């Protein structure tokens, strides 16, 4: 070990008052050393021996005690400030970064995916009384009454009792009464209980045909039995036909009396649309994709127990009419054989979802098939012809709708192609069956909101990656402190505020700005296609953003630490060979290219002959992830190679680099979340609000805006067709 | 001539500010320039310059920055800040007024 020189002794003593700030002490020592060495060189040039020159230079500095006191006093304030900053950088920044990431974390995108996977009925999560629900994305509190209307009384043991509790609280409210009836029909397995309850409730809404039809349906179950048999049609194909066998004629008559009574009533109402409207109003206007999907999903879970019974009721009515005619009671028979016109008119006023409309169409279809045949069998060709014409008019709207779905819909219709290419994932799930196709412009808000939700998810992943990076640097710092320590302890360097600001501006803000510019405002629209097609482009741009941010931040911070270590006269390892730097940045450059391309390019490449045998999605995802991993691998290999070659000599440099990078990455994590999260939330809110296709239409009651439009149109057409001529 | 240390104390800051306002300088260079201009009249202990420099730096009047010199050695150069320029102006005016006032008494012929 080399002996301490005069200079070393002077420097150690002169800076002894700065020992609590090791970086500052090394900085001042380096400054004084440079002064002494320069003086020494001049003295040597004037003919002194090196030893005498050193002594002369040290003597010229004056009394070491005076210098030490002066330096300690001059730097006291600075040291105090730096101690606070170091404390914050060492112990506060990393936890603060984690806290900011956790506070701003938005699991909405993940939840949206979960809800989308269960679109057939989303159970509204329980919302604590007076509390807010993050699950539905609802950020406002609910009153106990709102909570009751939304969930029912959850303290009750059964769903029926829970829903009945709403009506119990507001007994004159018909919406809540029929909500209870709906739940009863859906959930009560015992028909006798249903019949008894319905009989009891009927006087509360005497003008509503719903109770009569329910009672009729329940009696028909006991009165007749359907027996299915297979028959060969004229085309040779086997089809199933149903024979109805009477079990109890008295009950059949009673059931049909109920049906007839229902037909005579002024209205048929289930109040399902009104109940949904009330519940959606409580949930509030959706401001996020999750809320939008949750509301669609909630609507998709609407109970529709009546609709399934309507077709059977019509079939039995026709059977009864035929029976009466065969018994010679033609006048009475005519009432039942033509009941479908009045029946359809009545229930059509209450339909509010497409399923309802399709059932109405099925009733009209059944009438169109059976009634003319029955009249022909009775020998009344005029009545048969009239019935054929009327039923055809009645069935036409739904028939035409089905033809439209067939023509424009999957698998090759052009309109379907538009939805699959330009529509969001949720639009792809819900719209093709509607046969009513929106324009590419109408599809844009829903598509873009999915991109934004995916970015929200990616931001969460980015936060996790940055957190893992912080942990990695902690391990590296510990490694150079305990496992492979150097002669000088590792330092937590405190760069100037302006240097940190520049580093974060270049490493975080500029890449973020670049990302938003490229993804939002490129004139050739990298987001013109739905996530199903543009997912690869999104992945490429997100990976590029991640690597550019990490690359610039680590490179700039590394440069800063290298320069500072050189100033402090700590041994510094040479930077990796240029080849590796160029290789890593080239890979990032290649990864960035797809993010700049028009969205259609990926589809175009996907249609290349050699791509036909490959899965486009897996190919591009695999390619981009492989590029990213290769870039990471180059960085890791360079790091390990440097450690093997220079680790022992430059431990202080490597350790200081790792220690200094921890607060830098923490700051980057805070900045990314603070800058991006509010912007993404704002954008998602704006897009969801401007989405007219996928939003739930409170007034019309459809699952989505487009379905509401369709239902309203079909309802109007059926209403027109069913009007007595 | 040996100067009273207290007398020197009051002029060290303006002198340093003045020198680093001309160009960025490092510690040893500042000592040399002072010696050169005062023809060695100010016999400073070189080490005492650094507490002054650091005090001025902490006060934001000058800013230190490490640079590589032409011979490849790292040196810490100091340059005056905007705040330092204002302070120098003020201190120079103060000194002019002060020395003129003192001169009126000290250098005037006895009455």
Q: Do A39 and B28 touch (CB under 8 A)?
A: yes
Tell me, yes or no, if B82 comes closer than 8 A to chain A by beta carbon: no
| Domain-wise residue ranges, chain A | 6-79, 119-201+269-302, 440-689
Closest CA–CA distance from residue A74 to any residue of chain B (Å): 5
Share of chain A above pLDDT 70, in %: 92
Contacts of B46 in chain A (CB under 8 A): 35, 39, 60-62
What is the pLDDT, as a whole number, of residue A111?
A: 67
pLDDT in tens, A224-236: 998 888 888 777 7
A670 exposed, middle or buried (CB, 10 Å; 0-12, 13-18, 19+)?
buried
Is pLDDT of A1 > 50? no
Q: What is the pLDDT of residue A639?
A: 84
Tens digits of per-residue pLDDT, A250-307? 999 999 999 999 999 999 999 999 998 898 888 888 888 888 887 887 787 888 899 8
Residue A127's pLDDT is 37
CB contact under 8 A, A67 and B50: yes
Give the nearest chain A residue to B69 (CA atoms). Answer: A34
For testing contact with chain B, the best of A37, A40, A74 (most B CBs within 10 A): A74
CA distance B105 to chain A (A): 34
Q: What is the pLDDT of residues A357-405, one digit of tens each?
A: 999 999 988 998 899 999 998 888 898 999 888 888 888 999 988 888 8
Q: In which band, very low, low, confident or very high, does the pLDDT at A171 lie, cut at 50, 70 and 90?
A: very high
Shortest distance between the Cα of A35 and any Cα of chain B, in A, equals 5
| pLDDT tens digits, one per residue of A430-475 | 777 777 778 878 888 988 998 998 898 889 889 999 999 999 999 9
pLDDT for the residue A118? 56
All residues at 6 or more sequence positions from A534 whose CB lies less than 8 Å from its CB, including other chains:
A451, A526, A527, A528, A599, A602
**CA pair distance B67, B25, nearest whole angstrom:** 11
CB A154 within 8 A of CB A128: no
Q: pTM surpassing 0.90?
A: no
* Long-range contacts of the stretch B20-23 (C-beta < 8 A, 24+): B20/B62, B20/B78, B20/B79, B20/B80, B20/B84, B21/B80, B21/B84, B21/B85, B21/B88, B23/B79
Nearest Cα residue to B55 out of A14, A67, A74: A74
The nearest CA of chain A is from the CA of B92 a distance in Å of 23
What are the residue ranges spanned by the domains of chain B?
5-106
Can you give the pLDDT at residue A220?
Answer: 93
Weakest mean pLDDT among A129-138, A490-499, A592-601: A129-138
Q: With CB atoms and an 8 Å threshold, state whether A63 touches B45.
A: yes
Predicted pLDDT at A131: 37
Is any Cβ of chain A less than 8 angstroms from the Cβ of B51? yes
Tell me if B51 and A73 make a contact (CB, 8 A cut-off).
yes
Q: What is the mean pLDDT of chain A?
A: 86
Structure tokens at A642: 């440097």
Output the six-digit token pair for A8. 């070393």
List chain A residues with CB under 8 Å of B13. Answer: none
Rounded to an integer, the average pLDDT of A719-725 is 78
Which residues on A lie below 8 Å from B26 (Cβ)?
Answer: 34-35
Q: How far apart are CA A572 and CA A555, in angstroms?
A: 15
**Any chain A CB within 8 A of the CB of B78?**
no
User: What CATH architecture is B5-106?
Assistant: Orthogonal Bundle (1.10)
C-alpha–C-alpha distance, residues A519 and A521, integer Å = 6
Distance from CA of A78 to the nearest CA of B (A): 7
Q: Within an 8 Å CB–CB cutoff, is residue B46 touching chain A?
A: yes
Plot region of A49 (φ>0 → left; ψ -120 to 50 → alpha; else → beta): beta
pLDDT category at B27 given cuts 50, 70, 90 is: very high
Q: Residue A62 and residue B52: Cβ atoms within 8 Å?
A: no
A160 has pLDDT over 90: yes
Min distance B97 CA to chain A CA atoms (Å): 28
CB contact under 8 Å between A74 and B58, yes or no, is: yes
Q: Does B3 touch chain A (CB under 8 A)?
A: no
Interface test with A, best of B54, B61, B78 (most A CBs within 10 A): B54
- Residue of A28, A38, A55 for testing the chain B interface, max B β-carbons within 10 Å: A38
The pLDDT, as a whole number, for residue A69 is 95
Give the helix ranges, DSSP H, for A301-353. 307-326, 330-337, 339-348
The model's pLDDT over A183-233, given as tens digits with 9 standing for 90+, comes to: 999 999 998 999 999 999 999 999 999 999 999 999 999 999 988 888 887
């Amino acid at each position: 070990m080399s002996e301490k020189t005069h200079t070393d002794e002077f420097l150690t003593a002169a800076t002894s008052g700065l020992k609590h700030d090791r970086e500052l002490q090394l900085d001042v020592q380096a400054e004084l050393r440079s002064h002494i060495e320069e003086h020494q060189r001049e003295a040597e040039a004037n003919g002194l021996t090196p030893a005498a020159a050193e002594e002369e230079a040290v003597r010229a500095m004056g009394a070491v005690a005076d210098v030490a006191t002066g330096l300690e006093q001059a730097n006291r304030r600075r040291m105090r400030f730096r101690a606070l900053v170091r404390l914050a950088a060492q112990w506060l920044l990393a936890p603060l970064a984690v806290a900011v990431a956790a506070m701003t974390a938005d699991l909405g995108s993940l939840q949206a995916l979960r809800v989308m996977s269960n679109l057939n009925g989303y159970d509204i999560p329980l919302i604590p009384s007076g509390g807010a629900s993050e699950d539905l994305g609802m950020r406002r509190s609910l009153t106990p009454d709102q909570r009751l209307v939304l969930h029912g009384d959850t303290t009750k043991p059964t769903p029926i009792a829970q829903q009945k509790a709403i009506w119990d609280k507001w007994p004159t409210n018909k919406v809540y009464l029929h909500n209870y009836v709906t739940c009863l029909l859906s959930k009560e397995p015992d028909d006798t209980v249903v019949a008894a309850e319905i009989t009891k409730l009927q006087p509360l809404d005497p003008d509503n045909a719903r109770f009569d039809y329910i009672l009729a349906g329940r009696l028909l179950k006991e009165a007749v039995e359907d027996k299915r048999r297979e028959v060969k049609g004229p085309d040779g194909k086997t089809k199933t036909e149903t024979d109805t066998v009477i079990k109890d004629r008295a009950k059949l008559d009673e059931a049909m009396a109920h049906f007839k009574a229902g037909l005579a009533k002024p209205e048929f109402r289930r109040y399902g649309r009104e109940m949904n409207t009330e519940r959606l109003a409580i949930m509030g206007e959706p401001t996020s994709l999750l809320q939008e999907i949750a509301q669609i999903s909630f609507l998709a879970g609407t109970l529709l127990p009546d609709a399934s019974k309507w077709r059977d009721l019509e079939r039995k009515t026709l059977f009864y009419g035929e029976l009466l005619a065969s018994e010679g009671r033609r006048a009475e028979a005519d009432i039942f054989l033509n009941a479908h016109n009045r029946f359809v008119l009545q229930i059509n006023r209450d339909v509010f979802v497409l399923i309802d409309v399709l059932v109405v169409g099925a009733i009209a279809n059944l009438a169109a098939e059976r009634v003319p045949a029955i009249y022909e069998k009775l020998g009344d060709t005029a009545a048969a012809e009239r019935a054929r014409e009327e039923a055809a008019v009645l069935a036409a709207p739904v028939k035409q709708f089905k033809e439209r779905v067939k023509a424009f819909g999957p698998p090759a219709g052009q309109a379907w192609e538009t939805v699959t290419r330009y529509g969001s994932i949720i639009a792809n799930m819900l719209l093709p069956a509607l046969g009513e196709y929106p324009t590419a412009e109408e599809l844009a808000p829903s598509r873009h909101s999915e991109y934004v939700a995916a970015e929200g998810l990616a931001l969460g992943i980015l936060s996790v990656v940055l957190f893992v990076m912080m942990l990695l640097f902690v391990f590296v710092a510990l490694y150079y402190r305990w496992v492979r320590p150097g002669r000088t302890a590792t330092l937590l360097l405190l760069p100037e505020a302006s240097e940190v600001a520049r580093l974060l501006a270049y490493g975080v803000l500029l890449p973020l700005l670049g990302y938003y510019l490229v993804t939002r405002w490129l004139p050739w629209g990298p987001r013109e296609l739905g996530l199903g097609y543009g997912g690869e482009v999104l992945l490429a741009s997100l990976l590029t953003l991640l690597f550019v941010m990490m690359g610039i931040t680590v490179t700039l911070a590394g440069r800063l630490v290298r320069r500072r270590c050189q100033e402090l006269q700590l041994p510094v390892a040479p930077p990796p060979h240029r080849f590796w730097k160029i290789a890593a940045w080239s890979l990032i450059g290649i990864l960035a290219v797809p993010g700049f391309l028009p969205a259609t390019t990926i589809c175009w490449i996907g249609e290349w002959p050699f791509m036909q045998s490959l899965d486009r999605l897996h190919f591009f995802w695999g390619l981009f992830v492989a590029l990213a991993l290769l870039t990471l691998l180059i960085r890791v290999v360079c790091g390990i190679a440097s450690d093997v070659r220079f680790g022992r000599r430059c431990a202080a440099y490597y350790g200081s680099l790792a220690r200094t990078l921890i607060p830098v990455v923490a700051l980057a994590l805070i900045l990314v979340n603070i800058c991006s999260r509010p912007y993404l939330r704002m954008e998602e809110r704006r897009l969801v609000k401007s989405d007219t296709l996928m939003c739930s239409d409170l007034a019309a009651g459809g699952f989505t805006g487009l379905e509401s439009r369709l239902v309203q149109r079909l309802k109007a057409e059926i209403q027109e067709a069913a009007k007595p001529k | 001539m040996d100067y009273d240390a207290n007398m020197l104390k009051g002029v060290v800051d303006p002198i340093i500010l003045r020198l680093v306002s001309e160009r960025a300088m490092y510690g040893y260079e500042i000592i040399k320039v002072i010696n050169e201009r005062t023809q060695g009249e100010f016999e400073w202990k070189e080490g005492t310059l650094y507490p002054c420099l650091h005090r001025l730096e902490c006060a934001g009047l000058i800013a230190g920055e490490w640079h590589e010199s032409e011979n490849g050695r790292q040196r810490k150069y100091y340059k005056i800040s905007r705040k330092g320029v204002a302070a120098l102006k003020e201190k120079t005016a103060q000194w002019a007024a002060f020395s003129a006032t003192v001169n009126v008494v000290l250098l005037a012929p006895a009455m």
